[in-house]
């Protein structure tokens, strides 16, 4: 009776926590202060400012500043209004969720001014929009499975070699899959992809060394909750999720870094993040003892010396 109750309660608690950390992110999405830029003549600019709301942060700027803000990813979209025409400019290096909101809002602003709308943005396929987050998740899963199998197969030596060989093969597999979908990476993006794979594999191998199969409790939970958060932009997230999950998840840094490098952008913070993760993983691999595992033959050592054969009291009795 007690076992039935405990298992049922455990299932309910786990379902609640996973729902809170995964589906809850998407269920509570609502735009708040989404940064957008508008270039417009003074009379229209005043009407645009009046249309500002809690959902969006409309900045009225000149054309040069607007394009700089867009290139620097300080805004998710730019609306340029000229006599008889409105043009929406988007940056493919920005999270697709953000550009989608930007296009919807700026289209509404232009239509409110009674102007036809034209959208100018480089063509981006569905695979290219998916690739940064998909690659990040697959690199994590590949390293996690390799580390888990190393424990299950009772690997004792060459754990570091496995942690270095795994990212090379997994990243090659991911790049091949994306190429099949029609997505190609620049040299800088490929280098960053490999760096992410190495940092993931080192961290996972370090955790498996010290926790054994129990590391799956940590690594599996991170995989379940992080992509749901990393796929959103901060201005769409509930403030609690933004502070507790989005602010630190490595999936967010890897997806943003890959997306920027895919479109000839540059990154800096992301290199430091994954350099730090790799360093932590390397320290875990080189420090301390590995987690205790069962002996390969299934025999448990009870501390009886081979020379004795039997405990002392029993040997004296047979004498």
Extents of the domains making up the chain: 34-120, 126-286
Tokens linked to 75 = 């805004």
Q: What is the pTM of this model?
A: 0.80
Q: Residue holding tokens 């997994």?
A: 170
pLDDT at 51: 65
Q: What is the pLDDT of residue 297?
A: 45
> In 3D, which of 191, 147, 110, 114 has the Cα closest to residue 285?
147
- For the cut 60, the answer to whether the pLDDT of residue 263 exceeds it is yes
Concatenated DSSP letters for 113-159? Answer: TT--EEEE-----HHHHHHHHHHHHHHHHHHHHHHHHHHHTT--S-H
Looking at the domain that runs over 34-120, which CATH code has it been given? 3.40.190
If you average pLDDT over every residue of the chain, what do you get? 82
Task: Read off the DSSP letter of residue 212.
Answer: G
Strands 117-120 and 34-39, bridge-based pairing: unpaired
Gap between the Cα atoms of 72 and 89, Å rounded: 13
Per-residue pLDDT at 228? 73
Give the mean pLDDT of 119-134: 86
- What is the per-residue pLDDT across 19-50, written as a single tens digit (0 to 9) for each? 877 777 778 888 788 888 888 887 777 777 76
Is residue 319 very low, low, confident or very high in pLDDT (cuts 50, 70, 90)? very low
Query: How many percent of the chain have pLDDT more than 90?
Result: 26
- Residue 213: C-alpha distances to residues 100, 162, 219, 286 (Å): 41, 16, 10, 19
Determine how many CB atoms are found less than 10 A away from the CB of residue 31: 19
> Which has more confidence, 264 or 186?
186
Please compute the mean of the pLDDT values over residues 176-196 and round it to a whole number: 92
CA distances from 199 to 215, 248, 250, 278 (A): 16, 15, 10, 4
| Residue 256, both tokens | 């943003």
Return d(Cα 184, Cα 42) in angstroms, integer.
Answer: 44
């Amino acid at each position: 009776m007690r076992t039935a109750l405990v298992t049922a309660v455990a299932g309910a608690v786990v379902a609640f926590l996973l729902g809170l950390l995964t589906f809850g992110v998407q269920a509570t999405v609502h735009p708040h202060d989404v940064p957008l830029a508008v270039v417009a003549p003074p009379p229209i600019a005043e009407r645009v400012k009046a249309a500002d709301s809690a959902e969006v942060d409309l900045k009225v700027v000149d054309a040069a500043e607007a394009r700089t803000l867009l290139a620097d990813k300080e805004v998710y979209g730019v609306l340029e209004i000229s006599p008889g025409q409105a043009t929406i400019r988007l940056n493919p290096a920005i999270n697709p969720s953000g550009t989608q909101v930007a296009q919807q809002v700026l289209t509404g602003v232009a239509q409110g001014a009674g102007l036809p709308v034209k959208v100018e943005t480089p063509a981006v396929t569905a695979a290219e929009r998916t690739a940064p987050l998909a690659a990040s998740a697959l690199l994590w899963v590949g390293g996690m499975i390799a580390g888990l199998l190393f424990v299950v197969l009772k690997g004792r030596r060459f754990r570091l070699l496995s942690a270095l060989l795994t990212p090379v093969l997994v990243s090659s597999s991911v790049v091949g899959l994306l190429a099949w979908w029609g997505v190609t990476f620049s040299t800088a993006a490929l280098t960053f992809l490999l760096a992410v794979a190495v940092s993931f594999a080192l961290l996972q191998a370090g955790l498996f060394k010290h926790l054994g199969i129990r590391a799956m409790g940590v690594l599996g939970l991170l995989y379940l909750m992080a992509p749901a958060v990393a796929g959103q932009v901060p201005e769409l997230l509930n403030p609690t999720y933004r502070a507790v999950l989005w602010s630190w998840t490595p999936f967010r840094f890897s997806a943003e870094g890959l997306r920027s490098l895919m479109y000839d952008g540059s990154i800096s913070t992301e290199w430091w993040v994954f350099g730090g993760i790799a360093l932590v993983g390397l320290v875990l691999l080189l420090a301390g003892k590995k987690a205790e595992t069962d002996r390969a033959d299934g025999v448990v050592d009870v501390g009886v010396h081979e020379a004795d054969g039997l405990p002392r009291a029993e040997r004296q009795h047979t004498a």
